[in-house]
């Protein structure tokens, strides 16, 4: 069973990137899935939608394949 949402750290593990890279993606890449908070306080956990992360990754691979072809 696949998760519905993943934490910031889990997103890093899924994409095999560091936290700083994930932060740069969220700030600079408009195609990257938006994070959402589980609550209203500043310390609420941040999550990403699992399906959106996978779709974004597939699109990145496809665009690299198109550029390389």
**Residue 63, Cα to own-chain centre: how many angstroms?**
17
* Residue 2: per-residue pLDDT: 78
* Residue 69: per-residue pLDDT: 57
Give residue-wise pLDDT tens across range 2-54: 789 999 999 999 999 999 999 999 999 999 999 999 899 999 999 999 999 99
CATH number for the domain whose boundaries are 5-68: 1.10.10
pTM for the model: 0.83
Compute φ and ψ for 10, nearest 5 degrees. -65, -35
* Residue 68: per-residue pLDDT: 67
Domain spans, the chain = 5-68
E strand or H helix that includes residue 21:
helix 19-28
For residues 37 and 4, give the distance between their C-alpha atoms in angstroms, rounded to a whole number: 14
């Amino acid at each position: 069973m696949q998760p519905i949402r993943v934490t910031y750290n889990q997103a890093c593990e899924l994409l095999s990137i560091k936290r700083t890279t994930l932060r740069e993606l969220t700030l600079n890449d408009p195609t990257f899935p938006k994070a959402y908070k589980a609550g209203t306080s500043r310390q609420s956990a941040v999550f990403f939608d699992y399906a959106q992360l996978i779709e974004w990754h597939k699109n990145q691979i496809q665009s690299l394949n198109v550029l390389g072809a």
